[in-house]
Amino acid sequence: MTWNLFENYDMVFLTVSGPNFFEAEYTFERGELPSINLYDERGNLLEDGVYSYQLTAYRLNSSRVFDILARVRQSGDPEEMRLALRTFGDPSSVEVQSGTFAIADRVPFSPYDNETTDQDQLSRANVVPTDQVIQGSECVGLDCVNGESFGFDTLRLKENNLRIHFQDTSNSASFPSVDWRILANETTNGGANLFAIENADAGTRIMTLRSGAGNNAIYVDDAGDVGLNTSNPIVELHVADGDTPTLRLEQTGASGFTPQAWDVASNETNFFIRDVTNGSELPFRIRPGADDSAIDIQANNQIGFGTSSPNAYLHARTTAATNSMLRLESTGFPQVIFDSNDTTNPITWTTGMNASDQSFIFATGDPASQTIFTITKDGDATLLDDLTIDSLIATNTVFANNVSSPLATISTTLTAQTINVTTVTATGTVTADNFVDSSPRGTPRLVETNFLLDQIENMNFYTYSSENGVAFAPNAAEFNSLFGSPTANESKGGISLLNLASSAMAGVKELAEQNNVLTQQLTARDKEIASLQDHAADLEKRLAAIEALLSENGTVKKSTVKAE
């Protein structure tokens, strides 16, 4: 289709729009007739429908401007050409013509004689150079009829292709010049029922409202608050729905990044974030009823659970009388890692379950490379090296391997002592019900417990006042003399805890042996007494028989004396 020009122009700009968002822009230089090909690159005729066109013809100020526009035209960007025309063209020499043509049943309509290429069969528009006022309603469109019933409509557009085009003719680069279009419904058979706003220059649809949208699909109140599905927005953006109102954040991949979609949603059960791309998992949830500052992140990155004033990078607080504050649960063996990034002396500690035996460990390294302390699930404890404590209280048996002598030293208060399970150094009080040396050093020497008991029996016991209270103990020098030469700690008035405990055990052993001897003696005497009692009873029977015989003969009187 070609447009015949009755005058010469330096540059012509042609815009054509039609059904199904068809948009085309062309530029023509001096001597070229504006024309378009109604067939695509495959040889197919454009779709049926009414097409709108606009011709803008320019006369340029000078050959220099023409050269500038020629160079711009080589870029092939219609928007750059349009901007250049508006910048360098002479506003007084710009002429514009617009109209329509149609394609029906895959056949283009031919122009009527003495008319432009328009196929609306209407005369050209009247130009009114002054203001115009219409005090009634106005109908615009091919299907408007005489006697149109407007109801309350002031302006009505009525035909099968409804558009309002805003064409900005600004010709200075400093002024905005984008053209806009409002359209109602698509023009193709089976197209969508919609209301849309388009950027006519870019051919992009900025906003679309579909006909199926319900009441108050978008509502802006007088405070500027926006409601989605509500006419009473309470905050800046208020989303309402009968079931789980949701906001989706989707990265489409259009910019070359991996597609990913997240949902932020809520309902009566929880507020949650959903990973749509990865199986719709819910990695984050908040249940209704959670207290203030259930999770509180401070400006210094400290995190509070149940507190708005965390004093550490992880601070958990509750006002309830609960004991369980932290729980680590896994199908493996949970551990906690403490990592110091000090540039001079970096170190890593690992504590938690040991995978090999399910014991609880304190170790260095990540993964754990050297175990320092172990507690088995049966309650046994193992320490790699020295242990220094203020007070040790054992209510059962203490087992020690590789015990150095003396194992413990005590005077009025407990002084330093060493237990080489690893080593225990105590500066407070040590109390033990039993202490067992399972593998003592040196050659064993049998001690006569009866001798030890005799010595303890004659030993005096005293109470001593100290900073830790009143202590009860024998005289240290008297007690230590039972075991030969005293050690360094014993020479200072200390008492070996092992010797003290062993002495008590030896005394108990000797008393038990003596008790057994006495018990055996008492048992033997009880048997002897029982035998004598049986013999006496037999004699009593025999005496009674003799008295009976004598009584029959009248020789003696019945004895009244009972045998003892």
pLDDT in tens, 481-533: 776 655 655 555 566 666 777 777 777 887 888 888 889 999 999 898 988 98
Residue entry with tokens 């504590």: 351
Residue entry with tokens 């008295």: 547
* pLDDT interval class at 140 (50, 70, 90): very high
Q: How far apart are CA 221 and CA 217, in angstroms?
A: 13
| Contacts for 188 with CB less than 8 Å, ≥ 6 apart | 19, 20, 47, 49
Shared domain for 19 and 66, answered yes or no, is yes
Q: What is the pLDDT of residue 409?
A: 35
Q: Is residue 326 part of a domain?
A: no
Which amino acid is residue 243, in one-letter code?
A: D
Q: How far apart are CA 27 and CA 96, in angstroms?
A: 14
- For residues 230, 233, 236, 240, the Cα torsion angle rounded to the nearest 10 degrees is -40
Domain count, the chain: 3
For the ranges 138-152, 237-251, 332-346, 413-427, the one whose mean pLDDT is highest: 237-251
What percentage of residues in the chain have a pLDDT greater than 70? 74
pTM of this prediction exceeds 0.95: no
Q: How far apart are CA 242 and CA 240, in angstroms?
A: 7
Q: What is the pLDDT of residue 406?
A: 37
- Going by the DSSP 8-state scheme, the letter that residue 226 receives in this structure is E
Q: Is residue 133 part of a domain?
A: no
Shared domain for 203 and 238, answered yes or no, is no
Q: Does the pLDDT value for residue 187 go beyond 90?
A: no
Q: Is the peptide bond before 176 cis (omega within 30 degrees of 0)?
A: no
* H-assigned helices in 374-496: 449-457, 476-480, 488-491
Range of the domain at 176: 11-123+138-143+153-210
For 269-302, the pLDDT digits (tens) are: 999 999 999 999 999 999 999 999 999 999 999 9
Q: How far apart are CA 30 and CA 73, in angstroms?
A: 13
How far, in Å, are 329, 414, 501, 504 from residue 473 at the CA level?
A: 50, 12, 12, 12
For 315-324, the pLDDT digits (tens) are: 999 988 888 8
Chain centroid, CA 259 distance in Å: 22
Q: Is residue 443 part of a domain?
A: yes
Kindly state the tokens that stand for 42: 């495959």
Where is average pLDDT lowest: 253-257, 277-281, 316-320, 408-412? Answer: 408-412
Shared domain for 106 and 85, answered yes or no, is yes
Where is average pLDDT lowest: 9-13, 352-356, 538-542? Answer: 9-13
**339 strand-pairing partners:** 348
SS3 524: helix
Q: What is the pLDDT of residue 147?
A: 86
- 316, 347, 363: which is the final residue of a domain? 316
Q: Does the pLDDT value for residue 389 go beyond 50?
A: yes
Summarize the confidence of residues 60-86 as an average pLDDT: 60
For 434-479, the pLDDT digits (tens) are: 444 444 444 556 667 777 777 777 777 777 776 667 777 777 777 7
* pLDDT interval class at 126 (50, 70, 90): low
Shared domain for 96 and 185, answered yes or no, is yes
Short-list 167, 169, 141, CA closest to 153: 141
Q: How far apart are CA 176 and CA 83, in angstroms?
A: 10
